[in-house]
Amino acid sequence: MLRQRMAALLNAPQIGLVGVIVTLGILLSVFAGNFEKQGRTVNVFLNPDSLLQIGSDASFFAIMAVGMTVVIISGGIDLSVGSIYALCGVLTAIFLRSQPALTGEDPSFAQLSVSGAVCVGLGLACGVLNGVLVSRLRVHPFIITLGTMWVFRGIAFVASKGLSINFPEGLTGVLKATLGLEKGLFPVPLLLMVLVTALGAIYLGRTLWGRQVYAVGGNEEASRYAGLPIARIQTWVYALNGLLAGVAAFAGSAFYGAASSADATGYELFVIASAVVGGASLIGGKGTALGAMLGALLIVMIRQAIRILHFDQNYESIVIGCAVVIAVVLDQASGRFRMGRMAK
Q: Are 84 and 242 in contact (CB under 8 A)?
A: yes
Measuring CA to CA, which residue among 59, 81, 22 is closest to residue 194?
59
Q: Are 69 and 287 in contact (CB under 8 A)?
A: yes
pLDDT at residue 329 is higher than 90: no
Mean pLDDT of 13-42: 82
Mean residue pLDDT across the chain: 87
pLDDT digits (tens, 9 = 90+) for 227-252: 999 999 999 999 999 999 999 999 99
Mean pLDDT of 166-176: 88
pLDDT at site 95: 92
Q: Are 237 and 70 in contact (CB under 8 A)?
A: yes
pLDDT at residue 342 is higher than 70: no
So where are the chain's domains?
Answer: 40-331
pLDDT digits (tens, 9 = 90+) for 36-53: 777 778 888 888 888 888
pLDDT at site 7: 52
pLDDT at site 334: 64
Provide the Cα torsion 102, 103, 108, 111; round to 10°.
40
Across 40-66, b (16+ Cβ under 10 Å) vs e yields eeeebbebeebebbbbbbbbbbbbbbb
* Residue 66 bridge partners (DSSP): none
Please state which CATH number belongs to domain 40-331. 1.10.3470
